[in-house]
Structure 1
Amino acid sequence: MEYILIPIVALLASALTFFSGFGLGTLLLPAFALFFPVDVAIALTAIVHFLNNTFKLVLVRKHINWKIALQFGLPALLFSFLGAFLLDQITSRNIIATYTLANRIFEITVLKGIVAFLLIFFALFELIPKLKNLQFPKKYLPIGGILSGFFGGLSGHQGALRSAFLMKVGLSKEAFIATGVIIAFMIDVSRISVYCSNFLKVKDTLNWNLICIATFAAFIGVYFGNKLVKKITINTIQKIVAFLIIIFAIGLGLGII
């Protein structure tokens, strides 16, 4: 069953997240976790995520806005380590409510609530006409990187914040996608380096055949996403991203994600 479900999730999520810049890991991790222990599922997801971003980078590299990538990406990298460092010290003390749904326990936390609020705040800039044409001055890019990296380190959801911020800096659709990809790739490299010790612990239990199949399926999703991007406008991409961010934020705030 895992050889059917996981590749399908990888393909669809990869095609969708080609535009949004986030969500592959969010969708793929639960699919892996259905069939493997959580530590193995995290390792499997990280490998597929990294390889998928590498493939995307090969396809869109010529459209990268390097100035924005560095202004945003470097602070994101630095503050992701700070966020990760603080993670263990606050996660056990910020649960504000729990509830049960379909025999599963979900936790609503202060941290996820803050990230959800920020995501909806940014997304509304794309949906409210008076705010739609507002753009962030380039000088605020490092602040966006700090927020994305810090909360990404704390909660693992830096991709949504990154996309929400990059939507408002005046990038073309190609540059928006490509610049988001290189920043995500930078984050992936840092995460992979941190995860190396965990990989060594579970390397004997990793299903490399499934990793290859899931990665290939994700590549197919990227390929078709890259073809489709030529046929849609930046306005369409912005609306898709805004909608996905709000759905993501609601799930995050409710503790589902």
Structure 2
Amino acid sequence: MKDINFVFLLLALVAEIIGTIGGFGSSVFFVPLGNFYFDFYSVLGLTALFHLSSNLSKIFLFKTGLDKRLLAYIGIPSVVFVIAGGYLSKLIDSTLLEVILGFFLVGLSLLFLIKSELTIKPTDKNAVIGGSLSGFSAGLLGTGGAIRGLTMAAFNLEKSVFIATSAFIDFMIDFSRTFVYYNNGYLHQHDLKYVPFLFVIGLLGSWIGKKILAYIPQSKFRRLSLFFILLIGVVTLVQLFVTRT
């Protein structure tokens, strides 16, 4: 127990709660925060294991809502491209990709917050493109939920359907990339001591997030998600600046 970093576990709980409320998963916070405590590849491995438990919790808690059309058009491309991104993660310098992702999230979320009437067209083509980008980003950088969240926001889903569908897609992604990360050697023996704690945090954080979400009006849900995505982009860029100076 003395080797366990409890500050990191507390931050993981906060990430899980916010990820549940936002509907795009905890990895968008968990990955940049985890990079302060572990090497990049350990964070990828821990993220995949952490998400398996947290997404199972969300599927159970929000099981009344699933959009089967989006499961196919976003989920299947996500799985294909998370495998590709996972294998490429050892070959491509992640720093440049993290910078691009940070600016992309900040710019796109600001655009939607300032131009609130602007929306992505809810087409099958956009769903496939969004699923492909989010899966590839998840495999390469450990997080792709925000991109998937922006894509799914275009379809104006009721919040329980949004969260359940996003969690199911995320589970498919995590299940696939866990095998890739294991093959890459990202699941380190000395990090596995955190897995039982992260499993409990996944369950607890999802439950707390659902309770909080019950008090958030549907009209504010999309705007709140965009604020979270903006914060994610800023945190990613700040984390990169701090670690490189």
The alignment status of 1:244 with 2:228, answered yes or no, reads yes
Q: CA deviation at 1:241?
A: 1.5
| Alignment partners' CA distance in 2, 1:191 and 1:213 | 21
**Pair 6,186 (structure 1): closer, same or farther in 2 beyond 3 Å:** same
2:63 is matched with 61
The alignment status of 1:183 with 2:169, answered yes or no, reads yes
CA contact (8 A) 2:102 2:237 kept: yes
Question: How many residues are paired up?
Answer: 237
% identical equivalent positions: 26
| Alignment partners' CA distance in 2, 1:159 and 1:23 | 8
1:98 is matched with none
Per-residue Cα deviation, 1:9-49 (whole angstroms, up to 9, x for no partner): 23221111102213346436745863x66655544443222
Higher strand share: 1
2:218 is matched with 234
| Alignment partners' CA distance in 1, 2:225 and 2:188 | 35
Give the aligned CA root-mean-square deviation in angstroms. Answer: 3.0
**Pair 235,44 (structure 1): closer, same or farther in 2 beyond 3 Å:** same
Letter of the aligned partner of 2:100 in structure 1? I
| Alignment partners' CA distance in 1, 2:135 and 2:121 | 18
Moved more, 66-75 or 76-85: 76-85
| Alignment partners' CA distance in 2, 1:141 and 1:41 | 28
2:206 is matched with 222
Q: CA deviation at 1:66?
A: 1.4
Q: CA deviation at 1:201?
A: 6.9
The alignment status of 1:211 with 2:214, answered yes or no, reads no
**Pair 164,115 (structure 1): closer, same or farther in 2 beyond 3 Å:** same
Q: What SS does structure 2 have at the residue aligned with 1:131?
A: coil
**Superposition pairs of residues 23-102 of structure 1, within 5 angstroms:** 23-24=26-27, 26-27=29-30, 30-31=33-34, 34=37, 42-91=44-93
The alignment status of 1:173 with 2:175, answered yes or no, reads no
**Pair 228,114 (structure 1): closer, same or farther in 2 beyond 3 Å:** same
CA contact (8 A) 2:78 2:136 kept: yes
1:102 is matched with none
| Superposition TM-score, scaled by structure 2 size | 0.80
Per-residue Cα deviation, 1:171-220 (whole angstroms, up to 9, x for no partner): 111111111111111110011121334679734x3454x43233213321
**Pair 48,199 (structure 1): closer, same or farther in 2 beyond 3 Å:** farther
**Pair 247,40 (structure 1): closer, same or farther in 2 beyond 3 Å:** closer
CA contact (8 A) 1:119 1:164 kept: no
CA contact (8 A) 1:44 1:211 kept: yes
**Pair 253,71 (structure 1): closer, same or farther in 2 beyond 3 Å:** same
2:138 is matched with 152
Q: What SS does structure 2 have at the residue aligned with 1:63?
A: coil
Q: Which runs of 5+ in 2 are unaligned?
A: none
| Superposition TM-score, scaled by structure 1 size | 0.77
Moved more, 186-195 or 150-159: 150-159
Per-residue Cα deviation, 1:100-157 (whole angstroms, up to 9, x for no partner): xxxxxxx6x2x3343234323432354125525x342222211211222233333333
CA contact (8 A) 1:28 1:45 kept: yes
Per-residue Cα deviation, 1:56-79 (whole angstroms, up to 9, x for no partner): 212112211111121111112212
Letter of the aligned partner of 2:218 in structure 1? I
| Alignment partners' CA distance in 1, 2:41 and 2:136 | 23
